[in-house]
Amino acid sequence: MNTATEILRGPVDCGGRDPALLRRMFRKMLEAREFEEQLYYLFLTTAMPGTMHQAVGQEAVAVGVVSALNADDTITSTHRGHAHCVAKDVPLNDMMAEMFAKREGSCRGMGGSMHLTDFDKGMLGAFAIVGAGIPIATGAALSAKVRGSGQVAVSFFGDGAVNEGIFHEALNMASLWNLPAIYIIENNQYALSMTVAESSALPDLAARASAYNMPGLRVDGNDALAVYDAARDAVERARKGDGPTLIEALTYRIRGHARFEAAGYRPAEEVEAWKAGDPIERFAAGMIAAGVAAEIELNQIRADAEKAVEDAIAYAESCTDVGADDYLAYITAEN
Amino acid sequence: MREIGLAAAVREGMVQEMRADPSVIVLGEDVGKFGGAFHVTHDMLDEFGPDRVWDTPISEAGFTGLGIGAALTGLRPIVEYQYLDFIYCAMDQVVNQAAKIHLMSGGRAKTPLVLRGPQGATGRGAQHSQSVEGYFMHTPGMKVVVPATPYDAKGLIISAIRDDNPVLFVEHKLLYGAASPGGGKALSDSAIQAIGMDVPEAPYAIPLGVADVKRQGEDVTIIATLLMLHRALAVAEGLETEGVSVEVVDPRTLAPLDVETIAASVAKTNRVVVVSEDVSRAGVAAELVATINDHCFYDLEAPVQRVAAANTPIPFAPASERHVIPQVGDIRAAVLRALSD
Ligand SMILES: Cc1ncc(C[n+]2csc(CCOP(=O)(O)OP(=O)(O)O)c2C)c(N)n1
Ligand SMILES: [Mg+2]
């Protein structure tokens, strides 16, 4: 995996892994995928409010990283945050209700797709200002250190976000102070219309870590276990007090940038080639190849994931619409 | 005459200035190859090439500063923010640098810089819905332009580009016109008036600091900008059938502000409603109310009514967003209050 343009395919090596972990990861990736596939239809067919950004094709990054975390570790997310939330166990019902702008939504209908948050699950928030979550996760890492909690904080962000100055400011402080932070660049090759090479003078984004004197590595982001392994090592370092790690996960945004954006700036062959490296299908093939699960069992997991999302939609539809002045309760916190 | 939308009008103004003046350049995210997230810079890269149309990384503070540096040294940059919400990432460069350089240098430095982009609440939650002009109206050294029609937008963008100061040029997403992704929804906002769409093809400049009386009336004045101007006109039309004659004044620029035109209207009607999509507290409407009280106190027969966004981050739920942002009904109620006092 030396260049960002090299397309990654082939079964994930599932040999010697805990089957329960594998099944859980597979299920989580499927839930994230199905959640967004259904959202797409909902946006087409019903009066879905707002907009959304799909992470279809990028699920292995979210699931690989979060699988290496404890439940009380924290994450920050972005405008493209559904998969992070699914991975972090934010209930599908709460997420879907939020999409429908319902009172039972994870943000009470105040945030929407781009601001999903669930403090019970260590999901500190999705920040739709590109790069904004990077220092915030770093602050959570600082807090963990001050409180001696042993928690690790992860920031997910895109290849485009590394060009916000705040990326530099945050990583420098994290390394300077050995904070238990992990930075995950989801390099899906594009920031809206811009390729990595068109926006970063050094397209090897992991190499930036050297400027902050922290380890930086590049992984196959469509291999959930490669991501998991890299994240697990980073978590170990962080918990030991050895400081932050920067991980660049190479992946691909199969869909347009947002909702119905057509992504005409991408060559069709490129999209097709990456589709052939679909992280979920590579994982399924790996499980079968390693003899961990039979096709029939995987199909059951697929069906279960679909059912879970279907149930979430039915639940969301049965929830209460946000009242026009509900927001009055949330402008400033009660002391 | 042909009719065009606001996005096309802004583009035409920029293109004509770029043809006339090689020092005019454009910087921003996805403005080149992609033609801008709302298609405002469509085809401009093809015509002017990459030395004039710069596709930037996502680095608002950085490319704003580049714009300032280029402006100080002979260029006239137009900086686009994909949503004006993101100009806050560049707040220091705008407020501490661009706005202050002329004074700090004792008048030696000039910063001919246009900062432009879309704003307004369209169901996208708190970080993609704000009205930003209040912060910059508050900032001495800045000019602030708020066009409500394609005709005004073209004439004002041309003046903004020719101006030797940093100018914030605000575009409302719902006013872009159906051709842009942001404007598609415009069709669903029934208050938007098909006015000022006859846009002359030849370049023309509308001076900054000159308000426009968009509708003549006798009984009460509404002062409004951007989307709110359209809602004000819808209210005026409705009230006409009930025998109330409403004058609607569009300041068109908030800094400089055409106090004279506003005062003349108040002197005529003696009753005023100020409408803004900016938040109420210390916002655009608050400043306009204070200005009217300063200049027109003895002409007023009723307290000035302020209609502005509720003092809250903009909530996602559509029902809440509608509650927060002034609607036709809110403006109408304020006009009736102004008339009943
Ligand atoms: C500060 C800021 N600038 C611009 C945007 C508009 N915007 C939203 S997402 C995006 C592209 C982000 O690219 P990347 O970081 O690679 O994330 P991806 O969308 O690929 O997941 C842009 C330009 C924004 N939301 N915030
Ligand atoms: Mg990206």
pLDDT at A3: 46
Do B184 and B216 have their domain in common?
no
Q: Are B317 and A107 within 8 A, CB to CB?
A: no
Catalytic annotation, residues of B: 60, 128
Higher per-residue pLDDT: B334 or A49 = B334
Q: What is the pLDDT of residues A304-317, one digit of tens each?
A: 999 999 999 999 99
Q: Which ipTM value was assigned to this complex?
A: 0.96
B203 inside domain: no
CB B150 within 8 A of CB B6: yes
Q: Give the gap in angstroms from C-alpha B248 to the nearest C-alpha of chain A.
A: 29
The answer, for B33 touching chain A at a CB cutoff of 8 Å, is yes
pLDDT at A4: 45
- Residue B60 CA to ligand 2 center (angstroms) comes to 17
Is A160's C-beta closer than 6 angstroms to any atom of ligand 1? yes
Do B280 and B319 have their domain in common?
yes
Q: Are A50 and B316 within 8 A, CB to CB?
A: yes
Residues 39-58 of A with CB under 8 A from B: 49-51
B198 inside domain: no
B217 inside domain: yes
Residues 293-312 of B with CB under 8 A from A: 310-312
Domain that holds residue B184: 6-188
Q: Which atom of ligand 1 is nearest to the CA of A162?
A: 15
Handedness of CA A193, A197, A203, A208 (dihedral sign): negative
Q: Which protein residue's CA is at the shortest distance from atom 19 of ligand 1?
A: A191
Task: Give the CB-side neighbour count of residue B202, counting CA atoms within 13 A.
Answer: 1
Which residue pairs, CB below 8 angstroms and at least 24 apart, start in A253-256?
A253/A54, A253/A55, A253/A56, A253/A57, A253/A58, A253/A80, A253/A188, A253/A189, A253/A190, A254/A54, A254/A56, A254/A57, A254/A278, A255/A40, A255/A54, A255/A56, A255/A57, A256/A54
Q: Are A194 and B55 within 8 A, CB to CB?
A: yes
**Residue B208: which of B157, B261, B136 has the closest Cα?**
B157
From A111, which residue of chain B is nearest by alpha-carbon distance? B316
Do B27 and B175 have their domain in common?
yes
Q: How many CB atoms neighbour CB B208 within 10 A?
A: 20
pLDDT of B64 > 70? The answer is: yes
Q: Give the gap in angstroms from C-alpha B192 to the nearest C-alpha of chain A.
A: 20
How many domains are there within chain B? 2
Round to whole Å and give the CA distance between A301 and A142.
39
Q: Which CATH number fits domain A19-317: 3.30.1330.60, 3.40.50.970, 3.30.1060.10, 3.40.50.300?
A: 3.40.50.970
CATH (domain of B119): 3.40.50.970
* Segment A220-226 mean pLDDT: 97
B200 inside domain: no
- Residue B140 CA to ligand 1 center (angstroms) comes to 31
Is A55's C-beta closer than 6 angstroms to any atom of ligand 1? no
- Between the alpha carbon of residue A29 and those of residues A55, A280, A302, the distances in Å are 11, 7, 10
Q: Which residues of B touch A111 (CB under 8 A)?
A: 125-126, 316
Residue B341: band (very low, low, confident or very high) from pLDDT cuts 50, 70, 90: confident
Q: What is the pLDDT of residues A103-153, one digit of tens each?
A: 999 999 999 999 999 999 999 999 999 999 999 999 999 999 999 999 999
Handedness of CA A100, A105, A110, A111 (dihedral sign): negative
Q: Which candidate from B37, B125, B311 shows the least CB-CB separation from A112?
A: B125
- Residue A190 CA to ligand 2 center (angstroms) comes to 4
Do B155 and B296 have their domain in common?
no
Do B120 and B217 have their domain in common?
no
Q: Which residues of A touch B34 (CB under 8 A)?
A: 192-193, 265
- Between the alpha carbon of residue B159 and those of residues A107, B180, B195, B280, the distances in Å are 44, 24, 21, 29
- Residue A161 CA to ligand 1 center (angstroms) comes to 7
Last residue of some domain: B144, B172, B188?
A: B188
Q: Which helix (H) or strand (E) holds A217?
A: strand A216-220
Q: Give the gap in angstroms from C-alpha A252 to the nearest C-alpha of chain B.
A: 19
Last residue of some domain: B129, B156, B188?
A: B188
Q: Which helix (H) or strand (E) holds B226?
A: helix B226-240
The answer, for A135 touching chain B at a CB cutoff of 8 Å, is no
Residues 156-175 of A with CB under 8 A from B: 160-161, 163-165
Look at strands A194-195 and A216-220 and give their pairing: unpaired
Last residue of some domain: B142, B173, B188?
A: B188
pLDDT at A6: 56
Listed in order, strand segments (DSSP E) in chain B are 24-28, 53-55, 76-80, 113-119, 143-145, 166-172, 212-215, 220-224, 246-250, 253-255, 272-279, 305-309
Enumerate residues 6+ apart whose C-beta is below 8 A from A38. A309, A310, A313
B109 inside domain: yes
Q: For residue B124, which ligand has an atom nearest its CA?
A: 1
Average confidence score pLDDT of chain A: 96
Residue B83: band (very low, low, confident or very high) from pLDDT cuts 50, 70, 90: very high
- Residue A130 CA to ligand 1 center (angstroms) comes to 5
pLDDT of A170 > 80? The answer is: yes
Q: Are B58 and A130 within 8 A, CB to CB?
A: yes
Look at phi and psi of residue A10 and say left if phi exceeds 0, alpha if psi is from -120 to 50, else beta: left
> How is residue A262 written in tokens?
């057509």
The answer, for A273 touching chain B at a CB cutoff of 8 Å, is no
pLDDT of A192 > 60? The answer is: yes
Is B58's C-beta closer than 6 angstroms to any atom of ligand 1? yes
Q: Give the gap in angstroms from C-alpha B216 to the nearest C-alpha of chain A.
A: 35
Do B152 and B222 have their domain in common?
no
Look at strands B212-215 and A216-220 and give their pairing: unpaired
Do B220 and B181 have their domain in common?
no
- Residue B337 CA to ligand 1 center (angstroms) comes to 44
Q: Which atom of ligand 1 is nearest to the CA of A80?
A: 21
SS3 B39: coil
Round to whole Å and give the CA distance between A313 and A38.
9
B242 inside domain: yes
* Segment B188-196 mean pLDDT: 84
Q: What is the largest CA-CA distance in chain B?
A: 59
pLDDT at A280: 98
CATH (domain of B294): 3.40.50.920
Do B239 and B170 have their domain in common?
no
Q: How many CB atoms neighbour CB A149 within 10 A?
A: 14
Is A188's C-beta closer than 6 angstroms to any atom of ligand 1? yes
Task: Give the CB-side neighbour count of residue A170, counting CA atoms within 13 A.
Answer: 30
Q: Are B58 and A191 within 8 A, CB to CB?
A: yes
Enumerate residues 6+ apart whose C-beta is below 8 A from A301. A23, A26, A27, A30
Q: For residue A161, which ligand has an atom nearest its CA?
A: 1
Q: Which atom of ligand 1 is nearest to the CA of A79?
A: 9
From A200, which residue of chain B is nearest by alpha-carbon distance? B57
Please give the interface size between A and B, counted as residue pairs whose CB atoms are below 8 Å apart.
Answer: 120
Do B269 and B165 have their domain in common?
no
Q: Give the gap in angstroms from C-alpha B262 to the nearest C-alpha of chain A.
A: 34
Is A161's C-beta closer than 6 angstroms to any atom of ligand 1? yes
Q: Which candidate from A128, A265, A331 shows the least CB-CB separation from B128?
A: A128
Residue B190: band (very low, low, confident or very high) from pLDDT cuts 50, 70, 90: confident
Residue A294: band (very low, low, confident or very high) from pLDDT cuts 50, 70, 90: very high
Residue A7: band (very low, low, confident or very high) from pLDDT cuts 50, 70, 90: low
- Between the alpha carbon of residue B11 and those of residues A99, A287, B40, the distances in Å are 35, 54, 6
Q: Go through B78-98 and write b for each residue having 16 or more CB atoms within 10 A of its CB, e for each that does not.
A: bbbbbbbbbbbbbeebbbebb
Q: Which candidate from B58, B124, B318 shows the least CB-CB separation from A101?
A: B318
Do B82 and B126 have their domain in common?
yes
The answer, for B247 touching chain A at a CB cutoff of 8 Å, is no
pLDDT of A318 > 60? The answer is: yes
From A101, which residue of chain B is nearest by alpha-carbon distance? B317
pLDDT of A334 > 80? The answer is: yes
Average confidence score pLDDT of chain B: 96
* Segment A279-305 mean pLDDT: 97
Is B88's C-beta closer than 6 angstroms to any atom of ligand 1? no
Is B29's C-beta closer than 6 angstroms to any atom of ligand 1? yes
pLDDT at B189: 76
